[in-house]
Amino acid sequence: MEFCNVQNNIKLVDLSATFCVGMPKYKAKWYPEFSYKEIAPQALVNNEWKRRFTVVSMFAHNGTHVETSDHVFKDGYTLGKTNLEEFIAHPVIIDLTDISNGVSIEAEDILKRIENRKIEERSIILLKTGYDDRAWGKDYFWDKSPWLDAEAAKVVANLKPRIVGIDFQTEKPNEKNFIVHKTLASAGCIICEYLFNLDKINEEFLFMALPIKMPELESAPVRAVGLLIK
């Protein structure tokens, strides 16, 4: 595990996807790829030293990102209606790592893991399967994810979380009706998609996923981290 030790009392675990050319992107034709190109303004060329200027083409849903109800509802709200404080908290981690690839996560799977727990409303709930860690970049990634079935999504939504972070695909592979997105968004919940390394944090860590400041948008990339201050 790569801990940042710039300050000895801080442990930082990176929970984010890496942006790079050729990174996984959803297989729909319209789905943009991450790319960048360097520009060399005429006024700046022919210098002996280097100045690098890169234009980035970043789709808000390419890597680890958060999304608000404006993603799925005509009357939804955008990131501008959120507070930065909402994106940091000690998380509630629901361990689903025994769920296999390509299997639905059912209401019972969630209920039995939280039966002895008191989960406060407006929590940050992380659903941990390990799928992104084991399958990201693999041929089968888009087809073999576990997924929340409709009833399981309702169970999670009924906990009234402010953020649900997941490390598998939000919808059943190839499902186009966005059932889980709509169920969670209806409960006022922000979704954080494509998380990694959830096995390297626990609930003593602060989970933090601050979106790039683009208030007009439905989604923004985040650098998600687990932060432990000893």
In the complex, residue closest to Zn ion by CB: 61
Nearest residue to 129 (alpha-carbon basis) of 179, 190, 198:
198
- Where does this chain touch Zn ion (CB under 5 A) — which range of 15-23, 53-61, 139-147, 201-209? 53-61
Per-residue interface string for the shown chain with Zn ion, residues 78-117, x marking contact by CB under 5 A:
----------------------------------------
List the beta bridge partners of residue 224: 209
- Compute the radius of gyration of the chain from its Cα atoms: 19
Backbone angles phi, psi at 210, to 5 degrees: -85, 120
Alpha carbon distance 128, 21 (integer Å): 27
**Closest distance between Zn ion and the C-beta of residue 26, in Å?**
9
**66 near 208, Cβ under 8 Å?**
no
Find the length of the chain. 230
Q: Is 61 in the site for Zn ion (CB under 5 A)?
A: yes
**Closest distance between Zn ion and the C-beta of residue 168, in Å?**
13
Per-residue interface string for the shown chain with Zn ion, residues 151-190, x marking contact by CB under 5 A:
----------------------------------------
Count of residues that bind Zn ion according to CB under 5 A: 3
Alpha carbon distance 132, 192 (integer Å): 13
- Contacting residues toward Zn ion, per CB under 5 A: 61, 67, 193
